[in-house]
Amino acid sequence: MLEVVRIPVLNDNYVWLLHDDASGQTVVVDPAVAEPVLEAAAARGWTIDQIWNTHWHGDHVGGNAAIKAATGCIITGPAAEAGKIGTLDRTVGEGDHVRIGDHVATVMAVPAHTAGHVAYHLAGDHIIFIGDTLFAMGCGRLFEGTAAQMFANMARLAALPDDTIVYCAHEYTLSNGRFALGIEPDNVALAQRVAAVEAARARGEATVPTSIGQERATNIFMRATDVTQLAARRAAKDAA
């Protein structure tokens, strides 16, 4: 079994520690900063062997160099963004594989938020690390890509099994949910989810990870019927 630990950093980022007890291996996904990650691993007696980056933004790679200096870990990231991530040891793209022990992750190209964004899908474990492509009830801003790319991403992710656990990188759920209610006010599942999220946040609790099943029911970007609708929703959210 794999163990996943959520490490809150900065204002609303989450770094993920992925540990395989059988092999003793540990992977960090998208370390914004180093110190809290190193402390979390040390507290559990884990040695960090790898870093997996989903894209080049500083709040996803900022801890790379310091963690590598402390541990000698191997850093993997998108080949299309290698020029922007100077710490990479290995570059990957669509269809490539990375491993933690006997657990295999398939690399999925999911451009739109950035031009070379990737995700790491451990199908056998029903886990995907999605970076800033899919959020709980949201999707990433289109900084370097297009609405057509994001629409294709949403369709591809929606085709995954409903029980796939989605590890995204930010606590945006409440804002996303409240905006979504303005778009789909009659969506009962959405209204119920937003109420639950409001209660969780009032208690100081995190609201991710999420699941593909939850997103299929409540994510207005995944539920968009065409590219034009997704683009309009994304533009409206950006302006909100």
Domains of the chain: 1-95 (3.60.15.10), 133-240 (3.60.15.10)
* Mean pLDDT, range 186-196, rounded to an integer: 98
Tokens 């609303």 correspond to what residue?
12
Global pTM reads 0.97
* Mean pLDDT, range 215-232, rounded to an integer: 98
* Mean pLDDT, range 124-131, rounded to an integer: 98
Residue 237, pLDDT > 90, answer yes
Q: What's the confidence (pLDDT) of residue 1?
A: 86
**DSSP bridge partners of 107:** 120
Q: Which residues are the active-site residues? A: 55, 57, 59-60, 113, 132, 170
> C-alpha dihedral over 140, 141, 142, 147, to 10 degrees?
70
Nearby residues of 41 by Cβ (< 8 Å), 6 or more positions away: 17, 26, 28, 47, 48
Residue 162: closest CA among 231, 220, 218:
218
Residue 56, pLDDT > 90, answer yes
Q: What's the confidence (pLDDT) of residue 130?
A: 98
* Mean pLDDT, range 48-76, rounded to an integer: 98
Residues 227, 231, 236: CA angle, nearest 5 degrees:
150
Residue 172, pLDDT > 90, answer yes
Q: What's the confidence (pLDDT) of residue 180?
A: 98
Query: Residue 83 CB: number of other CB atoms within 10 A?
Result: 10
- When pLDDT is cut at 50, 70 and 90, the band that residue 5 belongs to is very high
